Structure 1
Amino acid sequence: VAGCREAAQEASAKDAGVPVKTVSATATPVVLEFEVTPMTCQGCVSSITELVSKLPGVSSVDVTLETKHATVSCDSEERATEIIAALKDNLREAVLIAQHDAD
């Protein structure tokens, strides 16, 4: 079942034009924090959350309008480039500002 889910996520990402990397089973789960612009309203928060949460390997997304930050829990630090690319494809700029191992 997990393999089917991953295949479906990769197919969805490919349909969206997002390059997808296969991450090894030994990858360490991480929390990545991005500064995302433009982000001016709650609608921006919702669209960023929806977009990033659909990407392969992402387990949770928390977007804060006041700080313009998106905190993403995912399966590997290698996902940062995919997240940045997906946001760029949706006319947003994202900069990785912090990362740490998931607890």
Structure 2
Amino acid sequence: MAIEEEIARVIDKAFDDWQGEESEAAFVTARLTPLLNRVRAEALKEAAKELEERWTTYSVGVQTHPAGVATISPRGSVRTGQEFAKVLRARADRIEQNSEGNET
């Protein structure tokens, strides 16, 4: 099922289940939050993958030393790209693990 279809299904089900105990918008939002967080996490993972691929392809020859100075070295640029990708993946994991959907 495409994500757009799944979102529409969740919205329809939320409207069907709504009993008036809270605002309609808050009820639907609460139902959508886990799904939207999953979308956010997937987008971050895709960005991490793209970053690794592009950084490796286009940045070969740049190494970042601990002092932040760039010099010539293909090995350092790949590691830097991988570190950025690692941060994005960690963020995606935190979003996925948050069952209440309150991750920002």
Quickly name the TM-score band, shorter chain normalised. Answer: under 0.3
- Name the structure with the higher strand share: 1
- Name the structure with the higher helix share: 2
After TM superposition, the score normalised by the length of structure 2 is 0.26
Question: Based on CA coordinates, which of the two structures has the bigger radius of gyration?
Answer: 2
After TM superposition, the score normalised by the length of structure 1 is 0.26
